[in-house]
Amino acid sequence: MFRDYILTGMVGLRLLSGTIEICAALLMWYLGTVEKAFTVNAFLSLVGPLVLVSVTALGLTGMADSISIWKIFIILCGVGLILYGVHS
């Protein structure tokens, strides 16, 4: 039962993220200039990593009883490296 709530949260966050991305793309098109589109894109660079970390945290919470602490650590390191690579 608890895992169903975790899964629903993960799916909901990804759907919200996708909706934000589509709305941002439409806003870029509506604004019509590269400068304004670039500003909207800068906002999106904050949304993506936040969703990644949130969905990963929910997933790890749901799997915490079935995987070892070492694997959780490895997953968290991988997410950290992704975030480092994106923002470096």
**5-38 pLDDT tens trace:** 999 999 999 999 999 999 999 999 999 999 999 9
CB count in 10 Å sphere of residue 58: 19
For residues 5 and 61, what is the distance between their CA atoms, to the nearest angstrom?
A: 11
Count of domains in the chain? 1
Mean confidence (pLDDT) of the chain: 90
State the Cα–Cα distance between residues 42 and 71, nearest whole angstrom: 33
Rounded Cα distance, 59 and 62, in Å: 5
What is the 8-class DSSP label of residue 64?
T
Q: Identify the domain containing residue 37 by its residue range.
A: 2-86
pTM: 0.76
For residue 88, pLDDT beyond 70: no
